[in-house]
Structure 1
Amino acid sequence: MTDRFLLREVTEAVVGEGGDLVARLRTVLCRRGADAVGYLTGESPAEQGIETTMPNLPELDTPPLRSTEVTLRVQWAAADVVRILVQSADAAEQDATRYGIVVDPRPEPVHAKAEQTDEAITLSTEAVRVTIERHPFALLVEDVRTGRVLMRSAGRLRQVAGLPIAPAMMVGETTTLNLELGADEQVLGFGEQFGRLVKNGQRLTLRVEDALGTGAGMAYKPAPVWHSTAGYLALVNTGATVVADVEHSRAGVLGIESHCGELDMFVIAGPAPRQALTGYTRLTGRGPVPPPWAFGYWLGRCRYHSSEQMTEVGRRMRELDVPVDILHLDPDWLIVDRLNCDFLWNTDRFGDRKEFVAGLQELGIRLSVWELPYLDPASPRYPEAAEAGHLVHDAEGGTARIANTPVPDDRPRALVDFTNPAARAWWQQMHRPFLDDGVAVFKTDFGEGLPDQVRLADGTPAEHAHNLYPLRYNAAVSDAIAEHTGRAPLVWGRSGWAGSHRYPAQWGGDAESTVSGMRATLRGGLSHGLSMPGLWGHDIGGFFGPELTPGLYVRWTQFGALSPLMRAHGLRPREPWAFGEEALEVVRNWIRLRYSLLPYLWQVAHESARHGWPLMRALAFEFPEDELAVPRDDAFLLGSDIMVVPVFSDDTGEVERRFYVPDGGWTDLLTGKRYTGPGMHAETVGLDRIPVLVRDGVVLPRVDVDAGLRNTDDLLAAPWTFHAYGGASGTHRFVGFDGTPFEVEAGDASVRHHRA
């Protein structure tokens, strides 16, 4: 059994000029009692708080009395952001940027006040107060502005014999922080999680995995980032696996266990998620606004097998007047194409790449190309990469092989080491000919397969390497696009970790083609937005599973048409004509609806990039004080002003949909029907519509879309129409497609504005 030590008392404390604290703490060896609930130390019963008067007190098998020391640092990143770092006593102070998650650890100067008494040390700014109780050690974080307790360590919680059930903090091979939750406190976030949005009652292992779908209990893009309705967001700044136990094992306790020998945590005080995410992204960076074409319709299939097949799909889309901006090409473009990417173009299947891309461009279609960061030994480039030292090494110095992803044969796949500058540059330069030929975007698939025991070139500790790998992989490709093209980069990534939101976009992985898969996909997107804010999409229709029904295809398309990015993709056909005439007509209308909302999507993208907010927003983001809105994960907001109510059904007939409408007045975008919240409503909707509600007071910019529309390029010079809803008044500000800001007065609802 690995020894664990609980933090017992502050033995020394020094406060610096800016209000930062460095303290020495004594720890004491602890073990679980015989009941496996409470913790015992070798201290006296009185020191431990044991109820010695209990008539049935069992024999206490106390461990030996052993102590160690740790260092506690409290540092101010901003007036409303505090860093709490616990390390072994002999560890040097760690740079907060060392893992590439935090990019600006002190975005503003801070001067905190300090007060020390025999009982406690208090540090405070105008926004946040941190109290460290000396003996027994305890942690308290409060919002000075609201008077609310944000975070309280849970050491005072006991079982009947007086043994602590959740010591404030324990250190060892893993480091655990236990927080006492308020009576009504709810916890959300932790990256792209496919279960319920509110995480109370769940135990989550935050480790990047090839999740094998959305129902296997794993996550492609977890993140040690959570929101609390107490009014804060927290980030554990680590690449190590983190286990978040949210009232699963112990009622009223949030346990955060980091599988490394330290805890490096940033706490951002924000009365609402929007303020907290703004603070969080000041630390971790924000993604750029992609080009307008990114917000068009994307279509793909696993797999298109030839240039002729893809060109024919493009022609058919044009013949049927279905707008589309991007066709996606999965691995058949490679010669060696099973869990391998070496950038060797398969001319037998796709001919000359430049000519193929040009042919699509004549149809007004851009090309997206698949990749992953693994190399098959059968690739001609494998010896080159191995000899140059571009591949990840295992603990013995050999070539590491991917783990936890099924392989189609017995050949071990190697991984590119993106911490090696030469390997990173080698990988990046192989993208350049593709970009020169007109490839618009790369789908950065996989990235979850780094094994645990590896030696990375930059010395990243093995326990941090696995989860950081997709962050570094997507960064390398995103940076390659930006540096070579000079435009805002765009990838389409499956795996991720905290900080991955800087490299848009991500998609929800391999959902099953079922109503359950669609439901889980939405939950994943909402959770992703609260902790990895930015651009996110999903495979319309799901990626695998039972044969997709026309009803579910239409319902998923309606959901996708109002998601941040819209892409249909799967193992089998996702083209609109594959599901019958009725489905084709309905889907075409919803794709056109999306294109008509391009000016609105453009505004939301700029707002999100400016403030660090997601485009797809849980009701909890916009209505954090509404206790009924916070747990809702069956609807979402696109930006602040459009609420989308997906219909989870594979029926082609009418479906009754019950949904919650938050406070205020709302108007259905399609029918004009009025709704008033807060309250539940019900609508019976046919296959052609879902409830899409516009908030009162909004001026919604749109463009007219006719049957001849091909893509977003056709709309860049089109006039905008501004629609005023629910008593909209005053001046409203917008950004044109050319980046120029302008204003519109709400009183003139018929105003049309042209942006070249």
Structure 2
Amino acid sequence: MTSLVTALTSWRLDGGRLHLTLQERSAQRSHTGGWLTADAAGLEASLPNLPAALPAPAGPAGERQLVVSVVGDGVVRLRSGPDLPPLGILVAEPEPRPVEVLDVGDGLVLQGPGVALRVRARPFGFTLLGDAGHLAVRTAEHVRQTDGLPLAPALRHDTGPVLGIALDGAPVHGFGEQFAAFDLRGRALTLRVADAMGTATGLAYKPAPVWQSGGHLGFLNTGAVVHADVGQSVPDALVLGIADATLDLFLVAHPDPAERLRRYTALTGRAPEPPDWSLGFWLGRCRYHSAEEMLAVADRLRAEDVPADVLHCDPDWLRVDRLNCDFDWNTDRFGDPAEFVAALAERGLRLSLWELPYLDPASPRHAEALAAGHLVVDADGEPVPVQGTPTPDGRPRALVDLGSPDARAWWQKLHAPLLDAGVAVFKTDFGEGLPDGAALTGVPPAHAHNLYPLRYHSAVAAVSGLIWARAGWAGSQRYPTGWAGDAAATVDGMRATLRGGLNAAMSIPGWWSHDIGGFSAGTESGPLYARWLQFGALSPMMRAHGLHPREPWAFGPEVLAIARRFVKLRYRLRPYLRRLARDAAAGLPVLRPLALAFPDDPDAARVDDAFLLGPDLLVVPVFSDSPDPVRRSWYVPAGEWTDLLTAQRYTGPARVTEQVPLDRIPLLVRAGADLRLEEPT
């Protein structure tokens, strides 16, 4: 039966940790939707149509322990339930700061550096205040129906903890790379890493139990599936349910969402600065089939005067290449790897290779890994098959147990010959396929599925330095970079891609990218490619990739000329991008929603069709596949701005509308910006 925390009964302070003893009572939903317990607190006894005696659920009262500590300036941690082993999300367990606790009669006030937590005794709930007493967040026990029954209690337990947090009219952003909307109010999300099969399915490659709303950032330190009802069932409340017995909640209180990200990433880790070459143009296709084909693309790039730094090769570099990576280089197609890398280097290009942590039984590496204990297996010792992604031939693919230190070292060692040959970076594709409940070494089964991408990416990033990842979870910002998965090659796919990037920026900040032109499931439109390439040239990382040709010359001379211009603009912006790399290493995203940069502007909070590249460049993508000029309306935030391409000046806040031709994108520079451009080549 569901239990509901109804009251604070006692407390003690021990070593900076406040231990709360909470009374629990059995609870059930009433016919009017509220939660009914034997505790009558809050009931409206004078209603003329209230039953004389509301039926109370059976069962004695119980107790639950909640431990509260302050672990950073303005950062509060609330823990309840069994202790978990280190999950790999937090870089280190933070030590509690000194606090003072005041008994105020109807509850407690805990005061620490930059924060005050007011705990209400009956009915139980809390309010978090930041510097200068600003309201950061409060629980939602006050949200009630007419009879007085709570609709979103502060804390209850079904199969796991359920939190009720008041929305207080504020937008909600984050929860990882969510494509459906930027303000997520009115939606119900299941935070479970998935092969989302695009940006239109309601699933996410990189969900994360991290959100921002009002004056707070919230982070659930868990790998378990989290259900987030963002004001859908109860419009005034965010209701979070965890599919595990442990609650480990961090709340960051500060009015500035950028500062909240700095404090959050100080706990969970930040992105290292990427190599300078990675800031250039990457080009790939699913698939290039041979060294000769890729070298021809490299020569054409130079002949067409399109700068580039990286050519990417999808699975054809492998002998067994269908949902398998055994690092068996295909010499028939690509010759000697060092000679191929050298040939690309002569043309000024580096090589990126595809991988995934799955093994096909047809590969000799499968038997080797099984014998050595490097695969995820069931209770009978049989390999657990990948789930969620169909295999092309029906054979079950096995997963490398990247929770095991021995399997991790083995997997890393397989990269060594290719890294020695000069391969620059690995695209760490997939990673979403660990079945729910499968045992991963050192990780509780309830947490293993969502944490598998972290294990995967940390292993590869440790040997390669840079990855190009699809899946992710909270903490993924430590392993740059990620891309938005397999978006459809449509205008809607382009729009959804940006929404995913905006939410990722608010919750897994750092480096992010997308497939210019879309990956698949659309028409091969030159104008769409041109518009998408403009968006990509002004994104944190720039890569054109898809199921079909994504070389700029594949779409005709007009699109090629537009692509050449914007790729060269990208290279001229490298000094600015290097500066943003330092910002990302300090906890900020490179792509920034207007809601992040202008937190006091309610109009900026709703903008989901434009973004800032760093602090000073406002980028307004044009979502169209028409070759003709397009009427584009956009929001100019406060300040003086000048279009970098037309010298047109704007004063915000304002909404402007212009006709934008195919060869242009609105690109506004903030007045006073330090935007030193490299000389054109």
**How does the TM-score come out when normalised to structure 2?**
0.98
Shift of 1:546: 2.0
The question of whether the paired residues in 2 share the 8 Å contact of 1:34 and 1:61 is answered with: no
Give 3-state SS (helix, strand or coil) of 1:406's partner. coil
Give the letter aligned to residue 127 of structure 1. Answer: G
Shift of 1:172: 3.5
Shift of 1:157: 2.0
- 1:257 paired residue among 241, 257, 280: 241
Shift of 1:17: 4.2
- 2:30 paired residue among 19, 28, 33: 33
Give the letter aligned to residue 94 of structure 2. Answer: R
2:354 matched residue in structure 1: 370
- 1:589 paired residue among 539, 547, 565: 565
- 1:12 paired residue among 10, 21, 28: 10
1:735 matched residue in structure 2: none
- 1:198 paired residue among 154, 176, 183: 183
Shift of 1:59: 7.6
Offset from partner CA, 1:212-269 (integer Å, 9 cap, x none): 00000000000000111x2111100000011111111112111111111121111111
Alignment of 1:657-676 (within 5 A): 657-676=632-651
1:736 matched residue in structure 2: none
Matched, 1:576 2:552: yes
1:549 matched residue in structure 2: 525
Shift of 1:399: 1.6
**How far apart, in 1, do the equivalents of 2:113 and 2:340 lie?**
60
Give 3-state SS (helix, strand or coil) of 1:690's partner. coil
**How far apart, in 1, do the equivalents of 2:57 and 2:360 lie?**
52
Give the letter aligned to residue 233 of structure 1. Answer: L
Shift of 1:53: 4.1
**How far apart, in 2, do the equivalents of 1:251 and 1:506 lie?**
33
1:401 matched residue in structure 2: 385
**How far apart, in 2, do the equivalents of 1:524 and 1:497 lie?**
14
Q: Which 10-residue stretch deviates more, 129-138 or 536-545?
A: 129-138
Give me the identity figure in percent: 51
Give the letter aligned to residue 132 of structure 1. Answer: V
The question of whether the paired residues in 1 share the 8 Å contact of 2:187 and 2:232 is answered with: yes
Shift of 1:60: 4.3
- 1:512 paired residue among 485, 488, 509: 488
- 1:304 paired residue among 276, 281, 288: 288
**How far apart, in 2, do the equivalents of 1:59 and 1:358 lie?**
83
1:110 matched residue in structure 2: 97
Shift of 1:548: 1.9
Matched, 1:134 2:117: no
**How far apart, in 2, do the equivalents of 1:637 and 1:78 lie?**
29
**How far apart, in 1, do the equivalents of 2:522 and 2:28 lie?**
49
Shift of 1:556: 0.2
- 1:216 paired residue among 201, 218, 235: 201
1:81 matched residue in structure 2: 75
* Runs of 4+ with >6 A deviation: none
Offset from partner CA, 1:253-294 (integer Å, 9 cap, x none): 111111111211111112111110000010001111111100
Shift of 1:432: 0.7
How many residues align? The count is 681
- 1:525 paired residue among 501, 521, 529: 501
Matched, 1:449 2:433: yes
Shift of 1:204: 1.1
Structure 2 vs 1, CA of residues 408 and 435 (structure 1 numbering), >3 Å: closer, same or farther? same
Matched, 1:63 2:57: yes
Unaligned runs of 5+ in 1: 482-488, 707-756
Unaligned runs of 5+ in 2: none
The question of whether the paired residues in 2 share the 8 Å contact of 1:514 and 1:546 is answered with: yes
Give 3-state SS (helix, strand or coil) of 1:308's partner. helix
Give 3-state SS (helix, strand or coil) of 1:703's partner. coil
Give the letter aligned to residue 608 of structure 1. Answer: A
2:225 matched residue in structure 1: 241
Matched, 1:637 2:616: no
**How far apart, in 1, do the equivalents of 2:171 and 2:612 lie?**
20
Offset from partner CA, 1:142-192 (integer Å, 9 cap, x none): 11x23222221111222122222111111232211001221x312111110
Structure 2 vs 1, CA of residues 269 and 53 (structure 1 numbering), >3 Å: closer, same or farther? closer
Matched, 1:435 2:433: no
1:391 matched residue in structure 2: 375
Give the letter aligned to residue 519 of structure 1. Answer: R
1:336 matched residue in structure 2: 320
Shift of 1:397: 4.1
The question of whether the paired residues in 2 share the 8 Å contact of 1:54 and 1:161 is answered with: no
The question of whether the paired residues in 1 share the 8 Å contact of 2:642 and 2:669 is answered with: yes
Q: Which 10-residue stretch deviates more, 646-655 or 47-56?
A: 47-56
- 1:178 paired residue among 135, 139, 164: 164
Alignment of 1:95-174 (within 5 A): 98-106=86-94, 110-143=97-130, 145-174=131-160
Give the letter aligned to residue 599 of structure 1. Answer: P
Structure 2 vs 1, CA of residues 59 and 449 (structure 1 numbering), >3 Å: closer, same or farther? farther
Offset from partner CA, 1:476-503 (integer Å, 9 cap, x none): 000122xxxxxxx110000000001000
Matched, 1:497 2:484: no
1:737 matched residue in structure 2: none
**How far apart, in 2, do the equivalents of 1:546 and 1:53 lie?**
58
1:267 matched residue in structure 2: 251
Q: Which 10-residue stretch deviates more, 289-298 or 165-174?
A: 165-174
Give the letter aligned to residue 137 of structure 1. Answer: F
Matched, 1:687 2:662: yes
**How far apart, in 2, do the equivalents of 1:193 and 1:396 lie?**
38
The question of whether the paired residues in 2 share the 8 Å contact of 1:171 and 1:262 is answered with: no
**How far apart, in 1, do the equivalents of 2:548 and 2:491 lie?**
17
Offset from partner CA, 1:8-66 (integer Å, 9 cap, x none): 22233111243x2012222111111234x11122x26x456254644263984432133
Give 3-state SS (helix, strand or coil) of 2:262's partner. helix
Offset from partner CA, 1:539-567 (integer Å, 9 cap, x none): 00000012220100000000000000000
**RMSD of the TM alignment (CA)?**
1.5
